[in-house]
Amino acid sequence: MTKLSVNINKIATLRNARGGNMPNLLKVAKDVQLFGAQGVTIHPRPDERHIRYQDAYDLKPVVTTEYNIEGNPMDQFIDMVLAIQPTQVTLVPDAVDAITSNAGWDTVKHKDYLAEIITECKRNGIRTSIFVDPVLDMIEGAAATGTDRIELYTEEFAHQYGLGNRRAIEPYTQCAIKAHELGLGINAGHDLSLDNIQFFKENIPNLLEVSIGHALICESLYQGLESVVKQYLQKLA
């Protein structure tokens, strides 16, 4: 079964819109795990517009499944990750002013930079993953850094799938096969939803984990958080 890690950034966005502590981020993290999710993901950014750095520390004792912290590996971010020691760190090359992640790493160009960070994280017992586009050269480059896993950036697949283009899955399948051959674990995320997740999972061999936030929270507004989490688990089985 492919694991579901629920990204709770949008819960923090809603909380921050009014101040105070509603909705309660820690309770939501507990609840999604209670409903069956096998992990919790957060992606703090420097301006703390959704997840705050303090949230990352506060969530540590609450997340009893897999704790995945995503982000651009700036000094502040890496210091936090090393202090918290989550299950996994996912390195994402998002710009400071990016609304959301919009590209994977050039793992060839940034090989030495990534390798240094990955070595330090692994030395501290933290599993590492690199956010990558579905390009074979980038998969090979990721393997050269020493990372444990890659996370396939799935926005283009989701967009094309919505247009009816099922062949958009092909580069992702090819990259998953190559990653497995190179000994890399395979994660995926970005714009995956109840509509496309089953097709994606069925066509990506050895898919270990998906991280889903925006769509899952939007779907939960209509169907309820528990119902939506369980629907994802069923489609990922």
Catalytic residues: 43, 70, 190
- 28/224 Cα distance (integer angstroms): 12
C-alpha distances in Å from residue 7, one per residue of 26, 106, 116, 155, 210: 13, 24, 27, 16, 10
Q: Which of 189, 108, 109, 178 is nearest to 156 (CA)?
A: 189
**How far, in Å, CA of 88 to CA of 101, rounded?**
18
Joined together, the tokens standing for residue 73 give 């590996």
Q: How many C-beta neighbours within 10 Å does residue 35 have?
A: 18
Beta-carbon contacts of residue 201 (< 8 Å; ≥ 6 apart): 2, 207, 210, 235, 236
Query: Can you tell me the distance from the alpha carbon of 102 to that of 65, in angstroms, rounded to the nearest whole number?
Result: 27
**How many angstroms separate the CA atoms of 56 and 235, rounded?**
29
Give the Cα separation of 201 and 171 in Å (integer): 14
Eight-state DSSP code of residue 91: E
